[in-house]
Amino acid sequence: MQEITVTSLIEFINCLEIRESLIMKCIYRGQRDKEWKLTPSFYRLQISINDNSKAEILPNYETYENYILDDFHRKGINLLEKYNIKDRLDLMVVAQHHGLPTRLLDWTDSPLIALFFAVENSSLESDCCVYEFLPNQGHTYDYVNKNLNNENEYHLVRPFQINERVKAQDGCFILHPLQKNLQIKSFNDLLEEQDKLKYLCKIVIPSAYKESIKKDLDKLNVNRFTIYPDLDGLSMKIQSDLASYPLFYEGKKYTREKRKI
């Protein structure tokens, strides 16, 4: 895996390789800490395993996943009507969108959006990074849905547009295999096992440059409101801009005029 360090938006753009296959283009993922591996939220769960014997105990991730998704569907059935869910993969995509741990890992077609996610919290002291990945295989949505429980394959998933936020973020996913052992394999590990790390590139941004890059992204209209095009995103954008609002001017006083009736 190639690793590059950049300190500005211009350097970031210049280091992006024009890599594509006949049917695939690169996808991107921003991470706030460069040390984090590419592991979906489902495999970051702390699952308790009771071992009352000396035999090797393997966690039944399939049963655990089914329980979580079934509970989400059963208790949220009325709230899920607007999504027109047709299959298990649809349900998993919606669950991921609403914060439920799944085997889906968020990616985007836009390198600038991935960069924003990486530098968004500039107060964190850790260096961040953007992963660039060129998918080397592609299957239809229907094929992926029928092979959800595959033990070895990962799949690129391009979901239906849930709402304006997913559309604005050019979102896509990588579905990780349904693993059968205690030692969780990150996406980095899977690619290394299959001798495919050459398709992955890691672009590191040192902590000291995150704030300046975030300001440059804002000049290109890549900010909280354009990425989260709803009232939540607008509120986050206004809060992030508070420091630059010229609300007070030294030596001047402002008085409110009495309203004439």
pLDDT, tens digit, 9 for 90 and up, residues 74-108: 999 898 888 888 899 999 998 988 889 999 999 99
Residue 220 in domain: no
The strand pair at 171-175 and 155-157 is best described as antiparallel
Give the count of beta carbons closer than 10 Å to the beta carbon of residue 205. 24
Host domain of residue 63: 2-210
Residue 144 in domain: yes
Residue 76 in domain: yes
DSSP string, 7-20: -SHHHHHHH----B
CA dist 185 → 73, 83, 113, 208 (Å): 28, 32, 26, 31
In this predicted structure, what is the pLDDT of residue 11?
95
What SS3 class is residue 228? coil
Low-confidence ranges of the chain (pLDDT < 50): 51-52, 54, 248-249, 251
Residue 234 in domain: no
CA dist 207 → 120, 121, 139 (Å): 11, 10, 37
Residue 216 in domain: no
Residue 233 in domain: no
- Give the sign of the dihedral formed by CA 14, CA 17, CA 22, CA 27: negative
In this predicted structure, what is the pLDDT of residue 259?
53
pTM of the model: 0.81
In this predicted structure, what is the pLDDT of residue 33?
96
- Give the sign of the dihedral formed by CA 215, CA 217, CA 220, CA 221: negative
Residue 261 in domain: no
CA 117 to CA 33: how far, in whole Å?
Answer: 11
Residue 243 in domain: no
CA 31 to CA 40: how far, in whole Å?
Answer: 12
In this predicted structure, what is the pLDDT of residue 233?
52
How many domains is the chain partitioned into structurally? 1
CA 108 to CA 259: how far, in whole Å?
Answer: 51
In this predicted structure, what is the pLDDT of residue 85?
87
Backbone angles phi, psi at 20, to 5 degrees: -160, 155
